[in-house]
Chains A and B, each alone.
Chain A
Amino acid sequence: MHEWALAESVIKTVETKPELKNKKIKILLGELQDIDEEIFRFAMDELLKQRESQIKYSIVVDEAVFKCNECGREFFMSEITKKSKAQRENIHFIPEMVKAFVKCPVCDSIDFDIVKGRGVMISYD
C-alpha cells in the first residue's frame, strides 16, 4: 500500500529531526490525497512496533483549498465535479494530477494553486 511509504517517511522524519524528539506530533492528511486513515494508522503502528519506537501522534484531516490564478476564486473539494475511480486513484498517488482532471468551478481555468490540504505533513508546537 502507498500509505505505508508515507507512514515510513513520517517515522523516518521524526527519528532524524532533533526538534521533534519527545514531541507529540500531529500528522495532517491532506484531503486532496485522500489517504486511507485506517490503513495509514495501521502502517504507522506496525512500523513503530517494528522499530520499538515510542512516537506519540494524532491524525487530522486537512481540508483542501484551491485558488484560481485567473479569477482569484477560492474553491473546495465539494465544488469539484465527482471524479472517476481511476482519476481519484491517480490524484491519491500524485496529488498534482488534480491539474489534469479539475478546472476552476467558476471560470474553467486549469491554472489554480493548491493552497492547503495537499498531502501528508507533520505539525508540531
Chain B
Amino acid sequence: MTNLIDPRENIIAERFKDVKKIFLVSGFKGGIGKSLISSSLSLAMNDLGFKTGLLDMDITSSTDHIILGVKDKFPEEKNGILPVEIYGIKFMSFYFFTMSKPFALRGNDIKDAVKELLCVTVWDKLDCLIIDMPPGFSDAALELMRLINNFKVILVRTPSPLSIDIVSRMSGIYKDKGFKTIIVNNMSKDTTMGNSIRYDTSIDDAIGNVTAIKKTQFYRDVLSLSSDMIKA
C-alpha cells in the first residue's frame, strides 16, 4: 500500500523558532477594525523599538496592504520567501500572489494555502509577529491553532451588543486550549474602560498613508496599548 505524507507541516515550527511573541488579532465579526488594529499595532511595536512582522491571514479579502500603502513590492525568493520590508515591518500577505483578482476558496484550499505560506515564509528573528485573522472561526483559525501553539489572542470588539456577544461566546475556544486572550475595545466611547481605542473618524482618511495614520487619535490609542501588550 502506498502512503502519502505532506512534508510542509514539519518545517513550520522551524520558521517561527526565532519569533519571540505571536499575537493573533481576531474578533470573529467583520468590520470591527481587526485589520486597522493589526496594521497600526505593527507600526506601533516597530516605533517602540521591537522588530516586528505582520502577516495578513485574510486570504480572499486581504486589506493590510491598502492600509499601509504597499505598492510595487513583491517578496524575494531566498531559501523560501522573504517578507516585504515596509516602514521597518516585515510584511507578508496573500495579496502579493492574487494580483488583485477576486477569487473564492473552499475549506481544503484555505487549509492548504495557510500551510503553504507558513511553510515557505522565512521570518528570521522577530520580537513580535502580528497575525491579522479573517472574520469567523473556521479553517484558517483552526489550521493556525494546530500548526502554531505559542500565540496570544487579541480579541477586538466594538460597543455593538452583537460584537460583545460573539467575542464572549467564541473566545472560549481559545481559552479552553490554553491560549491567553486580551480584549481590545475598539470604537470606544467610554475611555475609562481598559484597552480602549477611541472612535476616530479621521482614520478612514488616513488609510494608505502611514504618516497620516500616525497623526490620528486611533494610532495614539493603539500605541499606548502596545507597550502593555508586548509585556503580556
Q: Chain A: residues with CB nearer than 8 A to chain B?
A: 1-2, 4-6, 8-10, 12-13, 16-17, 19-20, 28, 69, 86-87, 90, 93-97, 99-101, 110-111, 113-114, 118-125
Contact = CB atoms under 8 A, between A and B. Distances in A.
- Please name the 7 residue pairs, one residue from A and one from B, whose CB atoms are nearest each other, closest first: A5-B80, A9-B11, A100-B103, A13-B7, A100-B101, A90-B97, A96-B113
Q: Is the interface of A mostly helix, strand, loop or mixed?
A: helix
A119 B102 CA distance: 22
A90 B81 CA distance: 12
Given A1-B79, A5-B81, A125-B1, A97 B98 contact: yes
A94 B104 contact: no
A121 B6 contact: yes
A9 to B, nearest CB: 4
A99 B112 contact: no
Contacts of B215: none
Given A96-B109, A97-B97, A100-B103, A125 B80 contact: no
Contacts of B109: 96, 99, 114
Interface in B1-21: 1-11, 14
A100 B94 CA distance: 11
B103 A110 contact: yes
Contacts of A121: 4-7
B154 to A, nearest CB: 26
Contact of B104 (A8, A111, A124): A111
A120 to B, nearest CB: 6
A119 B119 CA distance: 12
A102 B172 CA distance: 39
B71 interface: no
A94 B10 contact: no
B11 A12 contact: yes
22 contacts: A1-B77, A2-B77, A5-B80, A6-B8, A8-B11, A9-B7, A9-B11, A13-B5, A16-B10, A17-B5, A19-B3, A90-B97, A90-B99, A93-B116, A96-B116, A100-B102, A101-B99, A111-B106, A114-B109, A119-B116, A121-B5, A121-B7
B103 to A, nearest CB: 4
Interface of B: 1-11, 14, 59, 77-81, 94, 96-99, 101-106, 108-110, 112-113, 116-117, 119-120, 122
Contact of A100 (B98, B112, B119): B98
Nearest to A14: B7
A42 to B, nearest CB: 13
Nearest to A4: B79
Given A12-B7, A90-B97, A121-B4, A99 B80 contact: no
Nearest to A26: B2
A70 B11 CA distance: 36
A8 B12 CA distance: 11
B103 A5 contact: no
A28 B5 CA distance: 10
Contacts of B79: 1, 4-5, 8
B116 A95 contact: yes
